[in-house]
Structure formats: C-alpha cells, structure tokens
Structure 1
C-alpha cells in the first residue's frame, strides 16, 4: 500500500499545514513537505526515465525522498518560488532561469500519476472569474449584474444603468510603495472615480451591481463536506463593502450556519463541473434572503474558520480526503 502524501507549500505557510499533517499521520500515512520557496537553492528535484520506469526524487534538509510512488499530493501553495535566486544570478539570466524553474516544478506536479488535491492547471482555470460566473449562472445560482472591460465608455454605461456599482480586480494582488503593502480591495464607485475610468485602457477591471448584504458567507467545501460560516459585515463601517478591510477584528465573529439544500446541491454541482475537491466560496445573502454567488477560490484560506469548529474539522476532512477515507473525485493522470 502506498502511504506517502506530498504537501506542496512554502516556509511561511500558517499552522493549518500542521493540523492536517497531524490527522494524516494519525491515519498511518507519512507526510513529505516540499517548500517551494526553498527550490531550487535548497531543495533538489530530479526525475528520470530508465529501463521502462519513471523515478522522481526530492532532496531537502530532512533527507532524500522518492516521489513517483506517493499515494496523494496536496497542492496547497506555491508562493515565492526561487527565493534568493535573484541575488545569485546576473539579471540577464534570472528571467530565463525562473521560467525553467516554474516549468520544471509545475510540469512535475501535473504529471504525478496519483490523486491530487489541487493542481497548477486547475488553479489557472479557476483564476477566470468570468468562467466562474457563467458556470454558476448556468447551474442556477443568482449572480450580480456584471461588466468586465477595459473600455471606459462601456464601464460608464454600466455604472449609469446600475447606479450603485462596486469594482474589483480579478486577481488578488498588492501594490508596494515605499516598502508598504497596499492590498487592492473591493470598492464602491463614486463620482470622483468616474474621471479615473480612462485608466481602464491600461488594465481591465470587473464591475458589479452592488448587492445589499444581510450576511456574507464563506463556504469551505472539502470533497462532499460543506462548512458554511456567516458574518454580519455591516456591523463594521470598514467592512461594509469588503469584509477583509476589517478582517482581523472580525475573525472571531464568524458563526457556523446552515445552507438550504438547493444551495448545497448547486455548490456540489459547481465542484463537479470543475472536477475539484476543494473550494472556498464567497456568497452574499441579501435582505430578501436570496443567495448570490460571488466567486470560488481554488486555494482559499480556511484556518480561521477551522479554529471555530470542534477539533479542526476542516483539517480533518482534508486529511481524510488525502488518505482516501472520504469520497473524492478522480483526477489521476492515467485512468
């Protein structure tokens, strides 16, 4: 029986890795951790084909591990790949080297012939907010009126039609200025912003009709398990448009909630369409008790909600999935 589970993450990841690891080891499996920010300067990855067989090895501070015979891989995070390399190479070589590093690492992950909870290609697909909204709408979710454009005239027409409009980027990122990290949150459009829309020719944005909020929901799905939590984000002035603006102060104010069976069925259908076993879904519950799908995050964070469950049940569900103690969707390379 194969009993090794590979976790792809980075050295600064949070304690959720440790909780999942505890449950995995309690199930009798061995965990191999691959911190990608230590690759390639400190971690060595090798794959070869000889005498009709493929073999792959990871060498890190803990030793040398064979990876072609693992049972499962959890592609959790891939932050800061190639950390420290820029200081080691001339600028003219750095870009090419990073291209090879990423291609090698992601090619290895894609080709592992075992069950994978997350893959680079899956994350790339789920980066498309447009496809998410189209799929969600097609399976019966309510979604906000939406415009994705780099055309200032189209944006102004959409805003004029829908009045209260929010805008957000389609990818998560921050802008660093004078060493300070400025996260780009969701914002409400006002008259002052209308003059700034000409800048869309440089970068497209997503615009949506503002949905009044009775509650905001974060729904973490692991296989067939659904963990739904809600918060009254309107209790905080800073959090009314984007709860993350006051996220630290709201961490302990999330409460577990139940979803109507029809919403749960649509959520499971959504994961079936994508053929994934993990997703962190953002939903708005309107004052009229209508559920609006906002987005699904392929590797969305769950640790603060996990701490609100008894015995870190989300971590347990992830471990059970990785150890094949729970129903999962087949995504092996060769079927």
Structure 2
C-alpha cells in the first residue's frame, strides 16, 4: 500500500507513524510542506483528454497525488515565504498558496481510498463551531463568551462575584524571541483589573467561567477506539488551570480510564457532525463527576500520552487505522512489533529533526515537536 504523509518540519508524530507503517510493510512517502516553495514546486494539470493531476516536485523526487491509497494530513500544508519575495507581495503569495494547498487537499483526498481527516473537516478546527455543536448535541460546556467588545468582556468577567474567568486564544499562538526562546499564551485567569489597560478590541479571544475540576481527561479517538486518559492536573499548582501549563509533563500521572457510555455516544455524534475519524478531545471532570467538554483538535498530538504511559498503544493503533482504510476502525489486539518505545530505541529522531530544520532555515519548527 502507498501512503502519503504531509507534515511540517520537526514533527515527531509523522516520523513515528511513518516508521510504524513501514514495520507493517507499507511504502510511505513523507513530504515536508515547509519545503515549498524554496525546495519544492507544486503543479496542477487539467484540460484536454487527460484526467486532472497534482504533482509536487521535491528534492526526493516527484509526488503524483493520484498514486496514493492513503493520505494523512498530519499538519495542513502551509507555505514558508521565499526570502526573495518582496515584502509587499508576501500577503498575496501566502493567500494564493493557501488556495493551492486547499485544492491539493481536496484532490488528494478524492483520489485516495482513505484520507485523515477529510479536507472539509478543516473548517471544524474552529473552536466556536465546536462549542456550538457540542452544546447542541448535549455536552456540558463552560459558560463562554467569544468577543473583542470591551464592554461585553468586562460585563462577562464581572458577572458572578464568586466565579473566576479564564482567557485563551481562538487558535494556538506562539512567539519566538530574538534569542530563540518560545513564548505562548496559555489558559490564564483574567479579572477586571487585567482588562483596564488591555487592548481587547484588537483580537477576539475566548472567555470562560472557570470550571472547578477534580482532574482532566484527554480522549484520543481513532476510528471507533477511544482512549480516555485521566490527567492528575490538580497535583501541581502550575497545571491546576490547564495541564499543559505544567513545567514538567512527566511529573503528572496519566492513567487509562473507562469512558462513560453517554460521553462515548456524544463523542461519536460530534465526530460525525464534524466529519472526522480521528480527534484529540479535552474534558474537565468536576468534583461531582460531571464531564465538561472543552474542545477537540482534529489534528492533535497524541503520542506524548504513550511516551508517559507505554501501556496505551496509540502508535500501533493509529498506524493500523491508516492501514485499514476504515472510518469505523476498531482493534483491541496488541502488536508487539510496533510501539513508541521501540521507535525511540531504534531511531535517532533528534538527528532527523535537526537535519530538517537545517535544510529549511527560514522556518523555526522546534515548537512543533511535542505540542499537544
């Protein structure tokens, strides 16, 4: 079977899944979208008597999108501007590349027997869409405001004297300083004094009433397999608001737990609505045992869970999910040929990632490796 993986430079997951698929005997092509346009070219042919065709000409040879059985868009392709591009033209170039990559996704998915996730699901990455859909389906969600209106925001934060509020961005955001340190905006408690000098009108953000939690849950859904992992975020002051704020993720415990049947049913209804077959769901579980939906990442990282609990076979099941070409994939068997531990033991991933970053000096991808 021929399988095509798209990813950004420095991505741990794509290398691990490529290795796992090769252990299963498949022919895997791994393409780095950050190599376009400096290292690779894109062409779409249509008209005449020939069928439409999309071809990428990379350093490692030509990639004909019509030749693959399975396509995994680990990260949606995004061009890195060529340094020779005039600054006034960068915005136009990136807009045109976004259009070209959108058609590449659609064409690749239509020609392949299986695509994860399908291109139209990319619109459902929007957290507003997810919260609306989750609420309609019957999930409990935090009281939420998405706004850039200073009066609405102040009123929302002020309402309820005994309730705290948090703020988080609509999309992942990070900044690289001049000394190459990375800074990100985590989920943060916000109060009225924080708003006094804040320019909230510049950009919309998500404001939510803080939900008291007993612990957090990350549900990785692969076809019809659900792996719900309890994260003891309340054991550390840094992670009490959001487990991702922990200074050392390895200090937290990650235990596989049973998903309540009503939550499981709603997860599958939401996935059907969003048209996805894979997703990383985040929940809060309150002291009363109530599950509260936060979001689903349709291209979320998942192998970090197996990194901290090697009894959860996510790598082998994701590889077999792609191999199955089945939206309703389900598997309970364990394959000892494939595990994250074996991959780490056999492959020096740091050298691979370093070589990718060296080959693409115009992109800083170090923060893609273990993002959640």
Q: TM-score range by the shorter chain?
A: 0.7 to 0.9
Q: 2:28 aligns with which of 26, 31, 53?
A: 31
Cα distance, 1:193–1:252 mapped onto 2, change above 3 Å: closer
* CA pair 121-18 structure 1, distance change in 2 beyond 3 A: same
Contact 2:130/2:296 (<8 A) preserved: yes
How far apart, CA to CA, are the structure 1 residues paired with 2:63 and 2:78? 22
- Distance of aligned partners of 1:153 and 1:64 in 2 relative to their CA distance in 1, 3 Å threshold: closer
- C-alpha deviation, 1:325, in angstroms: 5.5
Partner of 2:238: 238
Moved over 6 A (4+): none
SS in 2 for 1:262: helix
CA distance in 1, matches of 2:102, 2:55: 15
In structure 2, stretches of 5+ residues that fail to align are: 330-372
Find the counterpart in structure 2 of residue 92 from structure 1: 88
Residue equivalent to 1:106: 102
Does the C-alpha gap of structure 1 residues 257 and 89 become closer, same or farther in structure 2, counting only changes over 3 Å? Answer: same
Cα distance in 2, alignment partners of residues 328 and 227 from structure 1: 15
Q: Taking structure 1 as reference, are residues 151 and 253 closer, same or farther at Cα in structure 2, changes over 3 Å only?
A: same
Root-mean-square deviation (CA), in Å?
Answer: 2.3
The more displaced of 309-318 and 214-223 is 309-318
Shift of 1:118: 2.2
Matched, 1:122 2:121: yes
Three-state SS of the structure 2 residue aligned to 1:68 is helix
Alpha-carbon distance in structure 2 between the residues aligned to 1:68 and 1:135: 34
| CA apart distance, 1:117 | 0.2
What runs of 5+ residues in structure 1 fail to find an aligned partner?
330-335
TM-score by length of 1: 0.88
Per-residue deviation at 1:279? 0.9
Q: 1:184 to 1:155 in 2, by over 3 A?
A: same
Distance in structure 2 (CA, Å) of the matches to 1:309 and 1:237 = 22
TM-score normalised by L of structure 2: 0.79
Deviations 1:257-294 (A, max 9, x none): 22111111111111111110111111000000000001
For the structure 1 residues 320 and 169, does the alpha-carbon distance in structure 2 shift closer, same or farther, using more than 3 Å as the test?
same
C-alpha change, 1:20 and 1:291, in structure 2 (3 Å) is same
Distance between the aligned counterparts of 1:288 and 1:252, measured in 2? Answer: 22
- d(CA) in 2 for partners of 1:201, 1:41: 37
